[in-house]
Structure 1
């Protein structure tokens, strides 16, 4: 059963409270009576102790009246909705509570249908707000995971998204892979790793902020520690997590643990450490967890493997640039601007872009702009100068020159030819 609305009823008249709570309980299984209170003081104690979404309260009550309760609720949690029940003589007095975001006013005596209609309205609004929060949380999680995935390969988090990182004093990285064989499992390797990711994030939450990143054949877990923790502490946490995975999912994983990173710039190196420690764990059956300090420098990846990691990083940088161009081509984009966003040298950034795409940044940007311009020019009602502005060219003469360079004809000639074909 899903509880949509937790409702607190406040009135100094017992029969009013009982009649109202009975009507609410019978109206819908999605409503829960969070409590009944006979005055504001009692109500506010309940609000502090239990989740409450909606308060239905009388105005005139002993100990603490409805207006003071509204003020206290607003200062404690302005998201709690309030419905005031008031007599005709008190209505103008009750309207003082508008500054405390009171949602509705109902004049006594009011029947149960009127009250239930108001409650239903708030339930729908509350449901919509909760859905919007869930969507926003998913969006935040997706963006965070994308940036953390890039960070593994040396792509810094853009300065405008720095605040997305959880607070930390140090970061440890765990690499996990399935211990072969997996023939007994009901999952394939990717499904198993995804299940490990979910249970790991959930179980680690009370200990440390954990974010899992899925790779092709292994899982990387960031451990953001708000205080400095020793490697031995991380080993203990990893050992307990291993037992949780084994007991709950019936899966065996091998784990590698990095040394701590004090700054995000150290993450690519720590990733390689944890990856190598995991590979050692996979090659040895004596234990399921290895730390990088146990593996030693002599067993770190060779130059070819490190170069391969770097190539992955370059590819991710280029993918990011292509996405930015596709999404932001109307803006005044420049290679330096993108380089500043990812904290990279613009010359180096331009070189790896050309190595991967075969084109310079400016050539590719103009190619995308011309492609979009051709699409817009299909509509003969739009003016060439309007298209010029919409695709990111600020100078119509330069737009015409560039368009002809890529297509062999001017924008006006292209539009005329398309109109003639109709």
Structure 2
């Protein structure tokens, strides 16, 4: 039972508060009644209460002075204010003093009961959390590393409870991080990197353990400070300290080095999210939320390392004209109708508009976008299978679609999957039709000059004596792909052959196929294959 002290100078009101409500039914018992703040302080000094319901205006010591005294003596009492309509300024001050809630007179017994049901449950939940923390602390001597991880997880998930002293816990646990200015670096391993382990739990745990060791060693070297590492949900989380004014370059170098080391030693590609520093460890849950949110924005931004401020800038600069759900459904229907009519250029244009709509405003999660994409592709492939000539093979396996879509880590990779499916559909439906002469000439032109850095739609159109718009439309209609995407896919296929059959370095392969910026080549390769060139090279040369 929670103990309640009622403080009210009017006797009838005081006794009515005690008698008109069935306090026992909500797990509360009346521990005392007081006519003013001074009487309440004397009662609390003799027997502290869990809950305090006090009026504002009272003789001797009013409600605000009582609450100030409770706070000064550091009594663990949850305070609730009973105020009149004219007491708004007093109520505001009370809220600043840490009052949990307030009731405005006159109020019904049902109003009072409802408020105390909510407050009592919140207090019980806080105590349950406190008990869990105490349980963790009691096991410290038996298992300090485990207890340290459990406490860190609690801090990452929740703000501190009233009785919690994190500075003291740091000392008791022997944690290496400081109390002030914590920041969080969260790492998520890309889905494809774990595919080779066939979901064998022991192998995945071993790889995760090795990754956490590499993470700790790398970040401690580059940040030049102790780091705590913990596994939270599906993320490897590093907690360090420092303000960006003097840590920014070190954090950037550490994140880049960590990404390289995980790829080099474990063949893992990862996404990294970095929070803003927070004033103290009491706000660690906010830092973790920021780092995890930054990781979610990696899907849209495509970068391997995303800072919280990058995510905020992306949200602030998002395109204002996002298509509404009804409009997106209209575009989907138009795409299906164009597919049925054999208007493949229009199908591709509709799909480009549909994909662009997702980037207009950050209102949908990655899971939502995955689900809509799977539904759209399944519908498109089913339609293609229905209209395809007999004997034409259209891959419409929904399980394969789900696997591929859920395996992507960025929105750009998702685009690549959608466009590859459209190209395969158009190729299947056009397989028995002769290719237009200008398209074949354009393909020959690309095959001869694909490794030239200046390859462009305008250059190919000039060579074939047609307009860029005509050649672009022709490509979409005949091949189901736009000109530049075809060039990129052609180059990537050539790069894959070189990676399989030669010992050329990645930079050399990139130049051989027409990319003179290795970073651009790597990003393009991952978009169209779902893996990094280095991953592909190692896996195909085993």
TM-score (norm 1): 0.40
> Which is bigger in relative contact order (C-alpha 8 A, separation at least 6)?
1
